[in-house]
Amino acid sequence: GAGVSQTPSNKVTEKGKYVELRCDPISGHTALYWYRQSLGQGPEFLIYFQGTGAADDSGLPNDRFFAVRPEGSVSTLKIQRTERGDSAVYLCASSFAGPSYNEQFFGPGTRLTVL
Amino acid sequence: AQSVTQPDIHITVSEGASLELRCNYSYGATPYLFWYVQSPGQGLQLLLKYFSGDTLVQGIKGFEAEFKRSQSSFNLRKPSVHWSDAAEYFCAVGASGGSYIPTFGRGTSLIVHP
């Protein structure tokens, strides 16, 4: 079956603009995660959804970042008033249930560049 | 909070040689431990994981890792490296007494010479 997909694969925007990044998880996976990977670093956790609700959003860096998953499937990560420091690869992952004991399957990521 | 250290930023080996990538973690209780591989243009792929039980864990692609509590380590090994193993490798630790969300190390880049 299809894996986790993310769109767009690349996004270039200007400082101060608003961007939306989309994640399509594996069908049937109830848990969905967003991570951010800066150059030369490992993925950094942002937020985790169980169904439609955010079960853990402790990794969101500030209130410019917001994510939704209205129907418990596709998720959108929204970044307002983008800053150059937001440039990174944004990774999405999904798992059959919650993070305990369940393997996370990662998408290829969206590379965000803020000019 | 848990943390992971991967002390080697780059490792270079010859094809056919053995490989060991180092990982040290910090967590007060028994951790969940993972190794992921990231190839260019590909998503992160789970190589193996440790939750409990046998401390020597077998994974995909001929990789294995050993959990050593006394050394707070979870080193990844492969007896004979193939050119296709060139990639970025990430060790991660999950809090078994917490949210289980993995915390990743900064990664080790593996370069394979023919």
Report mean pLDDT in 10-residue bins for chain A, 115 residues: 90 98 96 95 95 93 97 97 97 87 88 97
Residues of B in contact with A4 (CB under 8 A): 43
The CA distance from B108 to B21, in Å, is 8
Closest of A61, A79, A65 to residue A19, by C-alpha? A79
Task: Give the tokens for residue A75.
Answer: 């998720």
Contact status of B100 with chain A (Cβ, < 8 Å): yes
State mean pLDDT over B43-66. Answer: 93
The CA distance from B7 to A108, in Å, is 26
pLDDT for res B111: 97
pLDDT band, residue B96 (cuts 50/70/90): low
Q: Which alpha helices (DSSP H) does chain A contain, by range?
A: none
DSSP secondary structure letter of residue A112: E
CA A112 to mean position of chain CA atoms: 12
Q: In the predicted model, what is the mean pLDDT of chain B?
A: 92
Give which of B36, B99, B106, B108 to mutate to test A binding, by max A Cβ within 10 Å. B99
The CA distance from B76 to A113, in Å, is 33
Buried b (16+ CB within 10 A) or exposed e, B46-62: bbbbbbeeeeebebeee
Residues of B in contact with A48 (CB under 8 A): 99, 101
Q: A33: nearest CA in chain B?
A: B101
Q: How far is CA A30 from CA A71, A94, B111, in A?
A: 11, 7, 37
Task: Give the tokens for residue A111.
Answer: 């590379």
The CA distance from A29 to B87, in Å, is 27
pLDDT for res B29: 80
Query: Which of A4, A42, A99 shows the shortest C-beta gap to B43?
Result: A4
pLDDT for res B97: 61
Contacts (Cβ under 8 Å, ≥6 apart) of B104: A42, A43, A44, B4, B36, B90, B91, B92
Task: Give the tokens for residue A73.
Answer: 């499937």
Residues in chain A whose Cβ is within 8 Å of chain B: 3-4, 33, 40-45, 48, 56, 91, 93, 98-101, 103-109
Q: A42: nearest CA in chain B?
A: B106
pLDDT for res A115: 96
Task: Give the tokens for residue B1.
Answer: 């909070």
Q: How far is CA B88 from CA A77, B40, B44, B102, in A?
A: 25, 8, 9, 17
